[in-house]
């Protein structure tokens, strides 16, 4: 029964989710139903969509916007990055997590990452089983974690999962940590940087 549930979670075919393959405005409205967007950030970032090449053609293949969002009951904002295709539809969206999902083991530790909050915002309208907390956490624990590969050097470490099917979408996790003098400051003398990200993309 458990293995069947995992397989169904991966392969489920469902209607287009809230953001992917939809116009940007529809995606933003869907996100607003789950989190508070920094509207000033959104407005500033959308100005970049007016970029054109030397022939005056929109750079739709490179179009993207980034802005901050705040989830309910969270004390600080977190970045979101949205990429558009040539038709102006959302083809990829990534969310910075509040904690490492790679090291989470319990439901409470997964709650701390906000991986459920973001996935639910993406898939709630699709009627997918991953809109429920525990199936998603088990998917990450038993399907995503075994695919995570590790690479790095003396100054940085990268951990990245395979791109996996999740309810008609593609899902990927990564985290990156390191030290660099380029980002050192009075409040960060060691120059530490990094974080964890989940990425949803259209098949």
pLDDT digits (tens, 9 = 90+) for 23-63: 999 999 999 999 999 999 999 999 888 777 898 877 655 68
pLDDT attached to residue 200? 96
Tell me whether residue 100 is in a domain. Answer: yes
pLDDT attached to residue 18? 76
User: Residue 84 in contact with residue 50, Cβ under 8 Å?
Assistant: no
Mean of all residue pLDDT scores within the chain: 83
pLDDT attached to residue 3? 43
HEC secondary structure over 55-90: CCCECHHHCEEEEEEECCCCCCCEEEEEEECCCCEE
Residues 6+ apart with CB under 8 A from 189: none
Tell me whether residue 59 is in a domain. Answer: yes
Tell me whether residue 54 is in a domain. Answer: yes
Q: What is the mean pLDDT of residues 60-67?
A: 80
User: Residue 100 in contact with residue 196, Cβ under 8 Å?
Assistant: yes
pTM for the model stands at 0.81
Tell me whether residue 198 is in a domain. Answer: no
Of residues 35 and 188, the one with the higher pLDDT is 35
10 has pLDDT over 80: no
Q: Look at the chain and report how many structural domains it folds into.
A: 1
pLDDT attached to residue 62? 64
SS3 157: strand
13 has pLDDT over 50: no
pLDDT attached to residue 107? 97
pLDDT tier at 180 (50, 70, 90 boundaries)?
Answer: very low
Tell me whether residue 39 is in a domain. Answer: yes
Tell me whether residue 188 is in a domain. Answer: no
Give the helix, strand, coil percentages of the chain, each rounded to 5.
35, 30, 35
Which of 94-98, 167-171, 187-191 is the least confident region? Answer: 187-191
Tell me whether residue 181 is in a domain. Answer: no
Of residues 156 and 182, the one with the higher pLDDT is 156
Q: Estimate to the nearest angstrom the gap between the alpha carbon of 65 and the chain centroid.
A: 13
Residues 107-163: tens digit of each pLDDT: 999 999 999 999 999 987 667 776 689 999 999 999 999 999 988 766 678 999 999
Q: What is the mean pLDDT of residues 160-179?
A: 88
Tell me whether residue 92 is in a domain. Answer: yes
Q: 134 lies in which domain range?
A: 2-148
């Amino acid at each position: 029964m458990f293995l069947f549930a995992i397989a169904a979670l991966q392969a489920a075919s469902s209607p287009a989710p809230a953001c992917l393959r939809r116009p940007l405005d529809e995606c933003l409205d869907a996100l607003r139903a789950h989190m508070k967007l920094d509207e000033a950030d959104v407005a500033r970032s959308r100005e970049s969509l007016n970029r054109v090449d030397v022939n005056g053609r929109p750079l739709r293949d490179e179009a993207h916007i980034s802005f901050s969002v705040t989830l309910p009951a969270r004390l600080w904002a977190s970045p979101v990055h949205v990429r558009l295709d040539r038709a102006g539809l959302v083809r990829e969206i990534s969310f910075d997590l509040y904690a490492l999902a790679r090291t989470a083991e319990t439901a409470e530790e997964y709650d701390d990452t906000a991986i459920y909050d973001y996935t639910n915002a993406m898939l709630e309208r699709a009627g997918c089983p991953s809109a429920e907390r525990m199936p998603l956490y088990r998917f990450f624990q038993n399907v995503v974690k075994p695919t995570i590969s590790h690479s790095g050097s003396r100054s940085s470490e990268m951990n990245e999962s395979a791109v996996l099917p999740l309810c008609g979408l593609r899902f990927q996790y990564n985290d990156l940590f390191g030290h660099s003098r380029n980002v050192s400051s009075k409040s960060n003398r060691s120059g530490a940087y990094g974080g964890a990200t989940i990425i949803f993309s259209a098949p």
